[in-house]
């Protein structure tokens, strides 16, 4: 049928929320009958990510193509860009969906080049925070936001994962001059099943990349402060990897917390949830983090910083929201430990979460954006396809 699409997702790093977002979209799009492929960096990710690729590869008619992509802008982008363009040209997509700053630049630039020699290619961009985290007053920020303004000439549709992200784009880049929309990240029905805590579970869990932006150093300091306030040891587990992991281990040792904080390699979120009674998200910046959604869906109470789109999940007045400050987080940790049942009652209901954050809704809205960018109308079977996809994913 004419609404069956060849879709290529392009992004740099196959870790964290972007990778999760792409995997969810890919599974739903394949279930709806589309041919899908992935292009991403070959130098990042570890054993956990390799297992995720192995799981999804059989679904992808256009395959997984990995090629080195450097994180920062530099001379290496010339060679990386040329390699990526050759892959994209070979795959002949109808839709090029770029995620994050690097993926968004490649998808829009190379999609525009393809238009010179062939039929229309839809060029979509989801920032996922990305360059929007930069300070617009710095030279780096001015460079990136100037580039974002320029790239709108090569963009058919902007897709934001939170209203915060959309507002930030308007403030730092300007009012979008192209089609744009808000599509929240979504979860499958299976992810809304509760995950009980193991009998040997600890008090608090941190799960995510081990980098300062995500606040693992804040989490460690908060565990220390909460223990001092309570007059007893507060226990925690930290799940994740990253180049700064040795620094965080050293921080825990320096504070005398080596017996209270256990570090674990990356693992599926729902497996990690069984390790602790409460999840802490101490990020300094976010777009729309999956981990908050996943934690709440698994019936885990959370303590989360009021950054990015997190207040859109919990509600702007939620007592679970704190500043990215160790003292504030420690105070909330103490409240949760002193009255866990009352604290759990402050979380959004499962019914409310399901109505706003489902994979089926996310995939359907993204497909509408694809078809709008291609000037196509959805067929009468599109809704049925997505209903079938939801049943498959569940």
Q: What is the pLDDT along the chain (394 residues), one digit of tens a residue?
A: 457 999 999 999 998 889 999 999 999 999 999 999 999 999 998 888 999 999 999 999 999 999 999 887 778 888 999 999 999 999 999 999 999 999 999 999 999 999 987 778 999 999 998 788 888 999 989 999 999 999 999 999 999 999 999 999 999 999 999 999 999 999 999 999 999 999 999 999 999 999 999 999 999 999 999 999 999 999 999 999 998 999 999 999 999 999 999 999 999 999 999 999 999 999 999 989 999 999 999 999 999 999 999 999 999 999 999 999 999 999 999 999 999 999 999 999 999 999 899 999 999 999 999 999 998 877 555 545 555 445 544 4
Q: Structurally, what CATH architecture does the domain formed by 190-352 represent?
A: 3-Layer(aba) Sandwich (3.40)
pLDDT at 202: 98
Distance CA 372, CA 382 (A): 14
Question: Cα dist. 337→26, 232, 327 in Å?
Answer: 39, 11, 15
Cβ contact 202:236 at 8 Å:
yes
- The structural domains of the chain, with segments of one domain joined by +, span 6-186+358-393, 190-352
Q: Name the residue among 224, 287, 295 with its Cα closest to residue 258.
A: 224
Q: What is the pTM of this model?
A: 0.82
pLDDT score at 381: 52
**Confidence at residue 48, expressed as pLDDT on a 0 to 100 scale:** 86
The architecture that CATH gives domain 6-186+358-393 is 3-Layer(aba) Sandwich (3.40)
CA distance 93 to 88: 7
| C-alpha angle 25-29-34 in degrees, rounded to nearest 5 | 145
Backbone angles phi, psi at 100, to 5 degrees: 75, 170
In this prediction, residue 81 carries a pLDDT of 92
For 142-171, b/e burial (b = at least 16 CB within 10 A) is eebbeebeebbebbbbbbbbbebbbebbee
């Amino acid at each position: 049928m004419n609404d069956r699409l060849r879709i290529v997702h392009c992004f740099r790093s196959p870790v964290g929320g972007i990778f999760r977002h792409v995997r969810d979209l890919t599974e739903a799009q394949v279930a709806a009958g589309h041919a899908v492929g992935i292009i991403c960096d070959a130098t990042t990710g570890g054993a956990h990510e390799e297992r995720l690729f192995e799981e999804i590869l059989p679904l992808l008619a256009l395959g997984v193509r990995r090629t080195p992509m450097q994180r920062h802008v530099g001379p290496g982008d010339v060679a990386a860009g040329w390699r990526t363009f050759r892959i994209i040209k070979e795959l002949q997509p109808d839709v090029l969906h770029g995620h994050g700053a690097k993926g968004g630049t490649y998808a829009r630039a190379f999609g525009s080049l393809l238009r010179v020699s062939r039929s229309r290619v839809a060029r979509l961009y989801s920032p996922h925070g990305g360059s929007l985290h930069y300070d617009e007053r710095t030279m780096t920020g001015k460079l990136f936001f100037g580039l974002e303004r320029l790239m709108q000439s090569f963009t058919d549709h902007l897709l934001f994962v939170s209203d915060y992200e959309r507002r930030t784009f308007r403030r730092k880049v300007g009012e979008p001059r192209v089609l744009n929309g808000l599509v929240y990240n979504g979860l499958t029905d299976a992810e809304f099943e509760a995950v009980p805590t193991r009998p040997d579970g600890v008090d608090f869990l941190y799960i995510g990349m081990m980098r300062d932006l995500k606040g693992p150093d804040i989490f460690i300091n908060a565990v220390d402060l909460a223990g001092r306030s309570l007059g007893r040891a507060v226990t925690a587990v930290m799940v994740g990897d990253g180049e700064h992991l040795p620094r965080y281990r050293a921080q825990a040792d320096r504070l005398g917390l080596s017996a209270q904080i256990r570090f674990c390699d990356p693992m599926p979120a729902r497996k990690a949830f069984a390790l602790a009674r409460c999840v802490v998200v101490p990020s300094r910046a976010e777009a729309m983090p999956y981990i908050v959604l996943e934690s709440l869906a698994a019936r885990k109470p959370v303590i989360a910083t009021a950054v990015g789109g997190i207040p859109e999940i919990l509600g702007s007045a939620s007592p679970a929201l704190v500043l990215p400050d160790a003292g504030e987080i420690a105070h909330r940790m103490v409240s949760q430990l002193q009255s866990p049942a009352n604290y759990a009652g402050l979380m959004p209901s499962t019914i409310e979460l399901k109505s706003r954050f489902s994979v089926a809704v996310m995939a359907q809205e993204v497909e509408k954006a694809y078809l709008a960018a291609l000037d196509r109308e959805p067929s009468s079977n599109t809704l049925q396809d997505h209903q079938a996809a939801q049943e498959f994913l569940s």
